Amino acid sequence: MNMHDNLVMTIQNCEAVCEHMTTLVHSFPDLHLRVAQMQLLRDCADICSLTAKFIARGSYFARHAAHLCAMICEACANECLRFPDQHSQHCAQVCLHCAQQCRAFAMMPMTPMMPMTPMMP
């Protein structure tokens, strides 16, 4: 078990919630007022997908991705908070939690990059 499995699961959950929310927004009568929300939901889901992969594989750039993920999740949360429906409010809370966890990970000291070794045939 990887020491960052809980973080990866938190990020993957945020991705899933944002993806689901993107689908839900299409059914809302005020869709024309939610253009920014839709864009941020997509951005959030995409950065969460990439960040989870980077952290899971121990990428040297994982902390940089987590920092960007925190910024986008927070922006998505703030936009979702503008809408009173329970789905947007729930999405905002999930995004804020993800942002908090990503920010904490991004602040951890970076480990030196592992030297690349050629693969043996």
DSSP 2: -
Residue with tokens 């938190």: 10
The per-residue pLDDT for range 47-59, each reduced to its tens digit, is 999 999 999 999 9
CA 74, CA 53: separation in Å to the nearest integer? 20
CA 9, CA 56: separation in Å to the nearest integer? 10
Longest dimension (CA), the chain: 59
Architecture of the domain defined by 5-106: Up-down Bundle (1.20)
What three-state secondary structure class fits 27? Answer: coil
CA 37, CA 28: separation in Å to the nearest integer? 12
The per-residue pLDDT for range 86-114, each reduced to its tens digit, is 999 999 999 999 999 999 999 987 665 44
Indicate yes or no: pTM above 0.85. Answer: yes
